[in-house]
Amino acid sequence: MKQNLLDCTIEELEALLNESGVEKFRAKQIFQWVNKGIASVDEMTNISKLLRQLLDERFHTGILHILRKLESKKDETKKYLFRLHDNNVVESVLMKYTYGYSACISSQVGCRMGCRFCASTGIGFARNLTCGEMLGQLITIQKDAGIRISNIVIMGIGEPLDNYDNVVRFLRLVNHKGGLNIGYRHITLSTCGLVPRILDLAKENIPITLSISLHAPNDELRNKLMPVNLKYSIDKLIEACKIYTEETGRRITFEYALIKGLNDSKENAHELAFLIKGMLSHVNLIPVNEVEGTEFEKTSKERTGIFKDILEKNGIEVTLRRELGSDINAACGQLRRGLVKE
């Protein structure tokens, strides 16, 4: 199978070219071409035909095949189902905001975490994505939609910190000035709470936004929703988050999906406020995605408002996530889930 050019750094390309007696400066040209979204190496017009032939024998450009695309009639959200070069499939979502376009991308083919409310649970884990396959999602979306993505959320299929090395490599490549050049502060990484990797990430000197999928204010409730909590309890997770904020100076986002009758009581709101009070953080309240095969329902708007008010009265910064792509099942995992059933 051919290698993905998007997996390569400029330095790695220089080393490969040096082996063939090719000038080092060509590496930067190749890197820039593949980040523009070319479909084949023949499109590299400032590179000799001989070098293009050499590249074509060993590499592909990393552009992904769009298996399905859904477009929302409500808010211009686009959802993509991509086929990878080994016929596995992943999903990405393009969202339009006042500040520009944001893309939510996948980091794995499937997920091992088993969160009960997630559309990726129960349809199997195949493998990690390479950094080039993560870049390929962004580049393919930009080319298809004719837009420039300014913000990235690694919150699609998979647990990013379970694919740590490839995700860190992706972050450095997507930030490269010769590539997509997306600023770290415009990137959010979402994790269910792999404590050792949160501590590792704090030392990487990559000033992204860390988002914690919390969804419960106590161990008893979180154990039922998220198996990861059986290994890394809430106390361990919050301690790691405090270390992360101290070492990076970056605010953490706590994601909290409100589930009717389960984690949306006034008592739950007070527990959550007590848990994170004084931390450099804010809470993002999310109406839970209603996924076929799960019993979870969205909390009412009235109950959501009460929950939000309690947090704010306790000095917690809160946002209520705007629902985008609700008419196309924009929660990552639902298209892949449907395809597996088919």
Catalytic machinery residues: 91, 332
Q: And the tokens for 261?
A: 């009758």
> What's the per-residue H, E or C state across 295-336?
CCCECCHHHHHHHHHHHHHCCCCEEECCCCCHHHCCCCCHHH
Q: And the tokens for 103?
A: 């893309």
User: How many CB atoms are located within 10 Å of the residue 209 CB?
Assistant: 18
Alpha-carbon distance of 334 to 331, in angstroms, equals 6
Alpha-carbon distance of 327 to 94, in angstroms, equals 14
Any idea which residue has 């998979």 for tokens? 158
The angle subtended at Cα 322 by Cα 318 and Cα 324, nearest 5°, is 155
Any idea which residue has 């994601």 for tokens? 255
CA atoms 301, 302, 308, 311: torsion sign: negative
Q: And the tokens for 38?
A: 């070319």
Q: And the tokens for 249?
A: 């100076």
Alpha-carbon distance of 48 to 170, in angstroms, equals 29
Q: Report the interhelical angle of 164-174 vs 195-202 (nearest 10°).
A: 30
Burial 211-228 (b: 16+ CB within 10 A, else e): bbbbbbbbeebbeebbbb
Any idea which residue has 């809160």 for tokens? 318
The residues that bridge with 321 in the sheet, in sequence order, are: none
For residue 22, the surrounding DSSP H or E stretch is none
| Bridge pairing between strands 149-154 and 100-105 | parallel
